[in-house]
Amino acid sequence: LIVQGIAYINNTLFERVSIFIDEDSGKIIDIKVGYNIQASDKVIDVTKNRYRILPGFIDLHVHLRDLAYSYKEDYYTGTGAAAKGGIVLVCDMPNTKPPTNTLDNLKLKVNKARSKALVDYGLYYGSPKDTRELKYVTNHIVGFKFYPEDIFTYFDKNVFGEVANKAANNDLLLVFHAEDPRLFNQRAPPGLERTDIAEYSAIDNIINITRNLLRHKVKIHITHISSAKSLQLLLKTKKQYYNEFEVTWDVTPHHILLDNTMYRINAGLYKVYPTLKTRYDNMRLYLALLNNEVDAITTDHAPHSLNEKMRPYNEACPGYPGLETVVSLLLTMVNKDLLSLESVVRYYSYNPARILNLKGLYGVISKGAYASLTIVDLKAEWKVKAEDFVSKAKYSPFEGWSLQGKPYLTMVRGKIVFHDNMLYGELRGWGKNVRELAKTKS
Ligand SMILES: [Zn+2]
């Protein structure tokens, strides 16, 4: 199989190339400059100037739900939304029902995902109920996720040290949702019940705990930072402790494009944690994208039923689906000259692959890497209409937005899972647990 067109090669430049793919291994076996194919070759021709061939996008933070929450989303609709959104690998959070914090519960998920996934996926484990089970789980997960409640209760028991050591020895990521519950104020107006001070305080605590407990080099990742204050603290930390531990962080499109005045419109719909902050925070985080002061972009794809969303603020479920809008939101910024296509690849493909320790396999178009590619149409224009989502969550904070730029084709290890508005649903089960995939191939 050959893909020919303008591609982002070896993470440096766009060139007119032919990419040769071995369909058995799903890997790229050769890249030749120019379009030089034989009549007998099977070819995907995207040589028109409106297309760009990019390393497939990777999302470090999504909620695919399933199990008892399959009315909100399941592994097929969640990974289908990813395929349509141009994303080849999604990392799924453990706050499901039942939660992914025991070996038995993990097995439930491993099996569900295996039969339904359309794109590759990683699974996170929650705060473990029994650390003796950890030796059986490390081969199936990409990392651990800690929630606000964990940070100030669970951590005191010193179990964190054990988890962190396991993570360091097995190349697993420690991901934190940073908001300090001691500073929440449930009686505050929408959006102000959790402030930037709560986020700052949580990050400060996480850094101190990490510093005090670890002798091993460990990687911590602060997800969905939402404020200028947090960014400043993280930049300072990176400088100060770079030889003690590695810290990375991501931002979401909604924390860059939406601000807290949205709560006046329809507070329940816009409800999300961390809360939307001020326009100043939006702009500081956008600047961070321009200055390379961020490691990754994530969606925090958090689907709920419409009914759970259309409630008064205090009763509405927090979060939005994001997988089917993220790439178009970013390409719209590219089309407006607000962002480079290179930085979109860096934050949503190359860096996530590096953070997950999948460098060389994902996040690049190069020989030996998986042929997991996203071909985008830079010119396609469309309007966000949540009722057309593949995701079961039929609402969006970007409803009605006019966007320019769209995923045109998504390929996962040599197989097309989405092409020209068509989802290849018959391929469900093709998506693999990226951690298990890495183990079988090495
Ligand atoms: Zn989340």
Calculate how far, in angstroms, residue 272's C-alpha sits from the geometric centre of ligand 1: 9
Calculate how far, in angstroms, residue 95's C-alpha sits from the geometric centre of ligand 1: 9
Query: Which pLDDT band, with edges at 50, 70 and 90, does 71 fall under?
Result: very high
Strand order in the sheet with 143-146: 57-62, 87-92, 120-125, 143-146, 173-177, 219-223, 246-251, 296-297
- Is the pLDDT at 405 greater than 60? The verdict is yes
As a whole number, mean pLDDT of residues 400-412 equals: 98
- Is the pLDDT at 442 greater than 60? The verdict is no
In whole numbers, what is the pLDDT of the chain averaged over residues? 94
pLDDT of 290-307, one tens digit each?
999 999 999 999 999 999
As a whole number, mean pLDDT of residues 333-352 equals: 97
- Is the pLDDT at 151 greater than 90? The verdict is no
Max Cα–Cα distance, the chain, nearest Å: 69
Calculate how far, in angstroms, residue 322's C-alpha sits from the geometric centre of ligand 1: 11
Choosing from 120, 196, 281, 300, the catalytic residue is: 300
pTM of the model: 0.97
Supply the pLDDT for residue 440: 62
Percent of the chain residues past pLDDT 70, beyond the cut: 97
Calculate how far, in angstroms, residue 368's C-alpha sits from the geometric centre of ligand 1: 32
DSSP string covering 377-406: EEEEEEE--GGG-SSS----TTTT-EEEEE
Query: 228 with 281: CB under 8 angstroms?
Result: yes
pLDDT of 33-57, one tens digit each?
999 777 777 999 999 999 999 999 9
pLDDT of 301-325, one tens digit each?
999 999 999 999 999 999 999 999 9
Least confident span in 63-72, 203-212, 357-366: 203-212
- Is the pLDDT at 155 greater than 80? The verdict is no
Least confident span in 35-49, 145-159, 237-251: 145-159
Q: Is 120 a catalytic residue?
A: no
pLDDT of 97-149, one tens digit each?
999 999 999 999 999 999 999 999 999 999 998 889 999 999 999 999 998 88
Supply the pLDDT for residue 10: 77
Residue 257 half-sphere exposure, CB side, CA atoms within 13 Å? Answer: 18
Supply the pLDDT for residue 156: 59
